[in-house]
Structure 1
Amino acid sequence: MKVLVLGSGVVGITSAHYLAEAGHEVEVVDRQSGPALETSFANAGEVSPGYSSPWAGPGIPMKAIKWLLMRHGPLVVRPKFDPAMWLWLLKMLGNCTSARYAVNKARMVPIAEYSRDMLMALRASTGIAYDERSQGTLQLFRTQKQLDGIGGDVEVLKQFGVPFEVLDPAGCIGAEPALAAVKGKFVGGLRLPGDETGDCQMFTERLAAHCAGRGVSFRFNTKIEKIITEGGRITGVATSAGVLTADAYVVALGSYSPIILKPLGLSVPVYPVKGYSITVPITNADGAPVSTVMDETYKVAITRLGDRIRVGGTAEISGYDLSLHQARRDTLEHSVSDLFPNGGAVKEASFWCGLRPMTPDGPPIIGKTRYDNLFLNTGHGTLGWTMSCGSGRVLADIVSGKTPEIDTGALNLSRYG
């Protein structure tokens, strides 16, 4: 059958790939001039299933107050007269309990682990290269209190069989030799050797080209105006290029999914949380990270991507505002300069922001809706790159009427009632 995929970020393109693999005729529509030009463009570069955790958790409300008061804090809230913002925040607060955290984490880790396996298989079958590395992620703790607080995360890693290492400073330097230059600035780390890194935009562009070679068609520079319904089914999508029709429709529009779905009576609790990144040219390879280092204090990810260092972080709740704020760049520069002072030309870095599509509980929304030919693949938050291949494969199975290889019943929209 013909499937129309709305959105050409990493989640939309992986959905298109697996739908085409399943034998469907696939068309992708996007307002941009090419794939991966919004949230997938310059993310932190991590493929980190082991760090797949909901933001909402016990203790987060008190931490949020502290973060808001920090000069280089990881959280920024710019209040707006926006009911969706406040409703989303209230729902997120409702998930900040130990019980809800355990449920939500248990929903996120399987799809993330499955996605890592799907990415490895896709890489092997297509030969796509994207500055990928398979050398793990190191969560770096600057204080003993941070290190002492990892017990809960370690138990979850054990529960799901995720390999990990708790490291002293020497062990951290063994994993990331450049940290020897700043060895007095951290007390230890938690390393996940199974995690990967890679350039999400490069991957998405090359996978889109691969899809095009297999017959997937693309309509770029095409504004999606509304979804047309009749008798409980989707009958078309009105666009700037006219009405496009298919047998099935997939919404993979990230933070913009709720806007296109609201007129259909579908309430999708996805809200944009802005993240920032800088991309730093490496000037001294020996002074740069080997893989990804997570600076726990500032919640900043510092990732090696070929001859560049990608530094990503900040959770800014400010609606659909894409303004670049210098203070956020200052935080990213501070973190990478403090830990890797000799690695790159920070002042020559490019500066970017994107809107992460966050759900209030953490897991993405994948699967059916009450319209029998409308499917969702959205709400991945900071983990769109990590979860993309698994989400695309699961989505393709559901559209095809197959039972996915992992249980995804708790990931669909019905979990919100």
Structure 2
Amino acid sequence: MDVIVIGGGIVGVATAYQLRAAGHRVCVVERHATVAQGATYGQGGTVLPTPLDVWFGPTFMASRHTAKNGVISKTGFNGPARQFVKQLAALQDPEAFGRQYARLRPLIELSRETMADMEARFGLEYEQANGLLYLVRSAQEWEQTQPALGLLRQYEVPHHVLSPAECAAFEHSVPTDPAFAGGVLFDHERTANCPLFAKLVKQTLDTEGSVQFMFGCEVSAIRLEGQRAAVELAPRPGAAPRSREVDVIHADAVVVAGGYGSLALLERLGLRLPLHPLRVHNLVAPIAHEECAPHVAIVDSVKRIAISRMNHRLRIAGGAVLQSAAQIDKPLGEALTKEALALLGQATHDWIPGAARISAALPWEGVKLLSPDGLPVIGNVLHPRLFVNVGLGPAGWGLACGSGKLIADLITGGTPDVPADTLAALRADRFQ
């Protein structure tokens, strides 16, 4: 089949790879000049999410104080934004959290297997590093993490619960003063460079000549015609005047994997997904003192700030800002940007003091989509030939490899490698 993938971020590239592996002819349409230039460019290093850092559950937005939960809520919330927060708050109940994570876990494991296959097949090297140390500040926050620790035991996920002294003994950069509650070590979970991974996968597809990439092209509309589909391309900026004919690319199927930009395309077709845009930030800072730098990634499990080392620099990701969707296309404002970046700088100072030169750090801001039930939207919508792969959120970019495999299975007509209840929980019609 001929398949068009809208979006050249990690989700679009991973989907294109899986579609090509399934024998389809693929065209990726991306508005930027190359892959991994949007939200993918600023991805945190954590490859796959654990129960401690999924963006829902007992520790997510459990406090209204931004200094405690790591999410800044901009004033001026409208009804949809308040409703979104209310729906996510329902998953703070430990039983609801456990049920929802159980639905997500098969996608996590499928992603792990899919990535391992890709690495083995092509020998990809994208700054992978083993080891994640999740740290918790207060006794109250430690209590809030107990449902997540219960899920780790339930699913027999290899991990070690550490006292503050054991954390400091394992990771010399973590100070024991001021006191904190404890930590959880994952020996085998990884961090890696997501933009580099996306570019390497693109290179393998270029080498095989199996996938066409159309850069600098923006999709203005999707057409659904009988048993086929098509996309309309907007005129390129600065293009010479031309006839009123619209550039149209026809295909047997279309996959919408364009992140935040996907929402408007789907709304024009009559599908309004209740996904909420979330501004996230990161800092890439040079290492100030080698003896202070961590040898494993550090994650503030309540503020959801991840600090991962990549060669001679540290990537500090998090600093989320939640606001009305109507405001997301406008500049955030200097004060809020400073507040978000200050969260990242403070977390670095608290957990690995002296390790990073924050004054020389390069900031980044982008938009990711978060669903009101914490799960992505993956599957067929509106028409037999239209598919979506969006809303994977900030936790774990490796999920894109599993979601791409699901999409390829659905388009090919094969049986997806996840249970039926997981597949149903990922479908768009769950919101109806």
TM (norm. structure 2) is 0.88
The aligned counterpart of 2:360 is 348
Q: 1:27 to 1:359 in 2, by over 3 A?
A: same
Give the Å deviation of 1:361. 0.2
Contact 1:54 1:101 in 2 (8 A): no
| 1:100 and 2:96 matched | yes
The aligned counterpart of 1:173 is 168
The aligned counterpart of 1:33 is 33
Segment of structure 1 superposing worse, 198-207 or 144-153: 144-153
For 2:123 and 2:59, how far apart are their aligned partners in 1? 44
| 1:187 and 2:181 matched | yes
For 1:80 and 1:38, how far apart are their aligned partners in 2? 26
Residue of 279, 288, 303 corresponding to 1:283: 288
The aligned counterpart of 1:11 is 11
Contact 2:283 2:344 in 1 (8 A): yes
The aligned counterpart of 1:230 is 225
For 1:184 and 1:384, how far apart are their aligned partners in 2? 29
The aligned counterpart of 2:151 is 156
Q: Percent identity?
A: 29
Unaligned runs of 5+ in 1: none
The aligned counterpart of 2:21 is 21
Give the Å deviation of 1:86. 4.0
SS in structure 1 at match of 2:341 = helix
Segment of structure 1 superposing worse, 299-308 or 139-148: 139-148
For 1:375 and 1:52, how far apart are their aligned partners in 2? 30
| 1:254 and 2:254 matched | no
| 1:373 and 2:368 matched | no
Q: 1:5 to 1:384 in 2, by over 3 A?
A: farther
Give, as a single letter, the amino acid of the residue that structure 1 aligns with 2:50: G
Give the Å deviation of 1:234. 5.2
SS in structure 2 at match of 1:50 = coil
The aligned counterpart of 1:217 is 212
Q: 1:276 to 1:108 in 2, by over 3 A?
A: same
The aligned counterpart of 2:116 is 120
Residue of 395, 411, 430 corresponding to 1:383: 395
For 2:170 and 2:406, how far apart are their aligned partners in 1? 34
For 1:94 and 1:152, how far apart are their aligned partners in 2? 15
For 2:59 and 2:53, how far apart are their aligned partners in 1? 14
Unaligned runs of 5+ in 2: 236-246
Give, as a single letter, the amino acid of the residue that structure 2 aligns with 1:261: L
Structure 1, residues 171-197: CA drift from partner, whole Å, max 9, x if none?
212432222x55544332012223100
Give the Å deviation of 1:315. 2.3
Contact 1:95 1:360 in 2 (8 A): no
> What CA RMSD, in Å, does the superposition of the two structures yield over aligned residues?
2.2
Structure 1, residues 175-229: CA drift from partner, whole Å, max 9, x if none?
32222x5554433201222310011111111111111222211111111101112
Q: 1:82 to 1:252 in 2, by over 3 A?
A: farther
Give, as a single letter, the amino acid of the residue that structure 2 aligns with 1:102: G
SS in structure 2 at match of 1:11 = helix
Residue of 120, 133, 137 corresponding to 1:138: 133
Give the Å deviation of 1:397. 1.2
SS in structure 2 at match of 1:47 = coil
Give, as a single letter, the amino acid of the residue that structure 2 aligns with 1:207: V
Contact 1:322 1:354 in 2 (8 A): no
Give the Å deviation of 1:73. 5.3
Give, as a single letter, the amino acid of the residue that structure 1 aligns with 2:103: R
Q: 1:93 to 1:335 in 2, by over 3 A?
A: closer
Contact 2:379 2:387 in 1 (8 A): yes
Residue of 372, 386, 396 corresponding to 2:408: 396
Give the Å deviation of 1:100. 2.9
The aligned counterpart of 1:264 is 269
For 1:5 and 1:326, how far apart are their aligned partners in 2? 36
For 2:306 and 2:225, how far apart are their aligned partners in 1? 46
Residue of 54, 70, 74 corresponding to 1:78: 74
SS in structure 2 at match of 1:398 = helix
For 1:243 and 1:84, how far apart are their aligned partners in 2? 34
For 1:168 and 1:95, how far apart are their aligned partners in 2? 28
**Divergent runs of 4+, >6 A:** none
Give, as a single letter, the amino acid of the residue that structure 2 aligns with 1:336: T
Give, as a single letter, the amino acid of the residue that structure 2 aligns with 1:300: I
TM (norm. structure 1) is 0.91
Q: Matched residue pairs, number?
A: 410
Contact 2:162 2:183 in 1 (8 A): yes
